Amino acid sequence: MQGKKVYQEQLFNSFRLSDRVPPTNFYRRLKEALNLDFLYDLTRGFYGSSGQKSIDPVVFFKLCLVGYLENIISDRKLIEHCSMRLDILYFIGYDIDEELPWHSTISRTRQLFPEDIFEAVFTKVFTLCVEAGMVSGHTQAIDSAPVKAN
């Protein structure tokens, strides 16, 4: 007898995001390898002492890292992509029913920090990944294609 699946949303769910992301998942391993708490001290001087709370700098830099790793250059596409991926939500510390930051918040926060902050974060993240055994290698390959300048 042929079956037909009918989708029925449940009113209540018993769901834990951490149970849905396998131990071998890249973003789960990255979350375990990276302690980005140093960002609070590094970025404290760029925030005021009054007004609305801004995006957590750890969340911001994790979103930047996801954009780099997933080759996403649009902040709007980045937020859309992250909202659809359970492993990325787990990595950035959001639950499935939490609203992600607006794409414009990401853009404005990116303009807040100077280039040397991004370089310092990249260097530290790279070092943490090497120490965790996530990055290794002895061979370097370069692909080049000479293109006539316009």
Q: What is the pLDDT of residues 14-34, one digit of tens each?
A: 888 899 999 999 999 999 989
Block residue for tokens 């992600």? 100
Query: How far is Cα 35 from Cα 53, in angstroms, rounded to an integer?
Result: 22
- The predicted model scores a pTM of 0.82
Q: What is the CA radius of gyration of the chain?
A: 19
Weakest mean pLDDT among 8-12, 20-24, 113-117, 129-133: 8-12
Q: What is the pLDDT of residues 53-87, one digit of tens each?
A: 889 999 999 999 999 999 999 999 999 999 999 99
